Structures are given as C-alpha cells and as structure tokens.
C-alpha cells in the first residue's frame, strides 16, 4: 500500500479494510482511488466493494490469494490500443474471464495552479489518448503508474506548474482544480474491461445469452499453420472479432495469438472450429466464456 502517493493512503486504507471485511464481495482494480478502473469497478459491479491495488499483478494476486472475489482489468482502448502486458498477465494468472464491460473514457486536466503548465502526469494510456491536446499546448507528458495516482502525486508535490490528466473524481478526492474537462483527443474514447474470477462460469448459467469466448493458442512452426488454424472458424461460420499476436521468449519463433470469438463451447460450430484450431496448434487454452457486454455486428 505504501507505493501509493501520500494523499491517497488514507482512502486506500479505508477501502482495503472494507474489502477485507468480506473478501468474497470485493473486486480488485489497479490504481489509486478515483482511477478509471475504480469507476469501472463501481459501475460494472456496484454490489461489490472496490479494492485498490498498486499494479495489475497485485490486482490479479488479490483474487488468487482470496482477498477479492474478482478483479476488473482494462485490456484495450478504442483510441490507444492494447493495454501493455495484459495479454501476458491474463494467461499467467490462471484466472477466468467471467464478464466484459465497456466504459466511455473522459479525462480532465487538473492542477493546484491555473497554468500555464510545464508538464502533465498520467498513465501512459491516458497520455496517449490526450497527446494532441498536450502537444498543442506545449505540455510535456510524464508517465505515472495510474491516472488518479498522478493526481495524488501532483497534490503531494505542491508545484502549481505541473498538472495531471485523470478522471474528474480524482480532482475531488485530492483537492485539485479542474482546468479543463474532456481533454481526450476523441469524443468516442472507449475502454474495454474484463472481470476475472478464480472459477469459470458454469455452462448452464450462460444458456440463452449472446456469448463471447476468449482464448490463446500457439500455432505449430510450419508453413501455413496460422491459415490452417483459422480456417475452421470461416468454414463453420464462427465470427472472430479479435486476433492479436505476441512473442513468447527470446527466440522470436514462437508466436502466441490472443483471440475473441462470438459464441462458446457447447455450440457445435464453435466446438468444430476450436477442435480444428487445436489440431494445428501446439497449445490452445480458453480464458473464458461470458456474456457480451455490448452487441457485436
């Protein structure tokens, strides 16, 4: 907890005590109170107590250790793409995706002073989503562990010439003044979050719903392996809405793919497609089947 900026510590301590009173009804998130993930936790699961964690690894460990019943993690943003390292962390965690949540993202520029500002602190994702705004004003972007933590750090630092980019709630929590709202470069800025738990959802609880399935696979290192692994989804009419690759290890020869499809095991078409993909792969592992947070075309 001591890694959080000073102004956040009392709030973090209070939230951690509330979560510890009933760990099964706690949801872990990465960041200081007031971060976008905090807001996502309260909106997606208002029945659970939000548990702030300093890093993504800490949030996932809280679920694995039983200090929280679930964790909510951002995995991609419509404007700035994949959240760094999350495609490594999810498979390694051993947890299961049980839900997704889409949240519009709005950033505010906040500070102790009124400007002009030499620099602005925030999470790299938020800085990337506001890069045109910052560049136009000659404000140097400086990375911080999370958006609300950046606001707390600016409050703690006491320098009126630096600002933070964070959700408006952070200004209220840490005594900053909002200089300008909606400083993100795109009005339709959206982040997709996933909710993770120790156990997957039971198949019977998913009946009759529009489902997504997320999985990873590593194709065999032979010509046309990826083409063959994906062919089953086309021939069986299974819509793949996401496919991303990333390297495993230092050989740059073993490529793992992260994929989302519409549907779930138990559907004959999905079963056939996954079976064909597995045949042409060294490994295929399902990370979760869950209800769609928003309809896909």
Which entry of 29, 54, 56, 191 is annotated as an active-site residue?
Answer: 191
Whether residue 2 is predicted with pLDDT greater than 60 in this model: the reply is no
Quick one: DSSP state of residue 79? T
Q: Are residues 95 and 117 in the same domain?
A: no
Q: Are residues 155 and 233 in the same domain?
A: no
Q: Are residues 87 and 115 in the same domain?
A: no
Q: What's the structural domain count of the chain?
A: 3
Q: How confident is the model at residue 176 (pLDDT cuts 50, 70, 90)?
A: very high
The answer to whether 59 and 146 are in contact (CB under 8 A) is no
pLDDT at 249: 65
Q: Work out the mean pLDDT of the chain and round it to a whole number.
A: 93
H or E segment to which residue 243 belongs: strand 240-247
Tell me if residue 147 is catalytic.
no
**Cut 0.85: pTM above it:** yes
Q: Is residue 262 part of a domain?
A: yes
Mean pLDDT calculated for residue range 46-72: 96
Q: Are residues 79 and 136 in the same domain?
A: no
Q: How confident is the model at residue 1 (pLDDT cuts 50, 70, 90)?
A: very low
Query: pLDDT tens-digit profile of 249-275?
Result: 666 666 889 999 999 999 999 999 999
Q: Is residue 50 part of a domain?
A: yes
Q: Are residues 60 and 123 in the same domain?
A: no
Q: Are residues 224 and 175 in the same domain?
A: no
Residue of higher predicted confidence among 98 and 208: 98
Q: Are residues 99 and 137 in the same domain?
A: no
Secondary structure, 3-state, 92-110 = HHCCEEEEEEEEECCCEEE
- Percentage of the chain exceeding pLDDT 90: 81
Q: Are residues 112 and 91 in the same domain?
A: no
Q: Is residue 116 part of a domain?
A: yes
Q: Is residue 297 part of a domain?
A: no
For the chain, the first-to-last Cα distance in angstroms comes to: 43
Whether residue 226 is predicted with pLDDT greater than 80 in this model: the reply is yes
Min mean pLDDT across 40-44, 98-102, 201-205 is at 201-205
CATH number at residue 262: 3.30.70.260
Q: Is residue 137 part of a domain?
A: yes
Q: Are residues 90 and 175 in the same domain?
A: no
Q: Are residues 93 and 145 in the same domain?
A: no
Q: Is residue 175 part of a domain?
A: yes
Q: Are residues 100 and 169 in the same domain?
A: no
Domain that holds residue 115: 108-180
CATH number at residue 35: 3.40.190.10
Q: Is residue 206 part of a domain?
A: no
Which one, of 95, 143, 106, lies nearest residue 123 by Cα?
143
Instruction: Report the alpha-carbon distance of residue 171 to residue 155 in Å, rounded.
Output: 9
Instruction: Report the alpha-carbon distance of residue 29 to residue 35 in Å, rounded.
Output: 9
Which entry of 4, 54, 117, 193 is annotated as an active-site residue?
Answer: 193
Q: Is residue 296 part of a domain?
A: no
Query: pLDDT tens-digit profile of 78-107?
Result: 877 777 677 788 888 999 999 999 999 999
Whether residue 202 is predicted with pLDDT greater than 50 in this model: the reply is yes
Tell me if residue 193 is catalytic.
yes
The answer to whether 72 and 44 are in contact (CB under 8 A) is yes
**Structure-block tokens of residue 107:** 């950033």
> Where does a domain end: 197, 232, 262?
197
Mean pLDDT calculated for residue range 196-220: 93
Q: Are residues 96 and 21 in the same domain?
A: yes
């Amino acid at each position: 907890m001591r890694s959080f900026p000073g102004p956040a510590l009392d709030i973090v301590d209070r939230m951690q005590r509330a979560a510890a009173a009933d760990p099964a009804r706690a949801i872990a998130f990465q960041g200081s109170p007031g971060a976008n993930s905090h807001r996502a936790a309260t909106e997606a699961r208002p029945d659970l107590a939000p548990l702030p964690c300093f890093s993504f690894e800490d949030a996932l460990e809280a679920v694995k250790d039983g200090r929280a019943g679930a964790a909510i993690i951002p995995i991609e943003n419509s404007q700035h793409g994949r959240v760094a390292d999350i495609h490594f962390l999810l498979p390694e965690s051993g947890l299961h995706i049980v839900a997704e949540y889409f949240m519009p993202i709005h950033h505010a520029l906040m500070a102790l002073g009124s400007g002009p500002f030499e620099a602005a602190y925030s999470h790299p994702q938020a800085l990337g989503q506001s890069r045109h705004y910052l560049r136009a004003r000659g404000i140097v972007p400086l990375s911080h562990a999370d958006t609300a933590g950046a606001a707390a750090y600016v409050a703690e630092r006491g320098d009126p010439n630096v600002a933070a980019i964070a959700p408006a709630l952070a200004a209220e929590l840490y005594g900053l003044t909002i200089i300008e709202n909606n400083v993100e470069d795109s009005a339709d800025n959206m982040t997709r979050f996933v909710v993770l738990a120790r156990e997957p959802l039971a198949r019977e609880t998913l009946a009759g719903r529009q489902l997504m399935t997320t999985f990873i696979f590593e194709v065999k290192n032979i010509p046309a392996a990826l083409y063959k692994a994906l062919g089953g989804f086309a021939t069986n009419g299974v819509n793949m809405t996401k496919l991303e690759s990333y390297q495993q290890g230092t050989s740059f020869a073993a490529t793992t793919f992260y994929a989302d499809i519409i549907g779930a095991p138990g559907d004959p078409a999905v079963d056939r497609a996954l079976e064909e993909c597995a045949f042409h792969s060294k490994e295929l592992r399902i990370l979760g089947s869950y209800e769609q947070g928003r309809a896909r075309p």
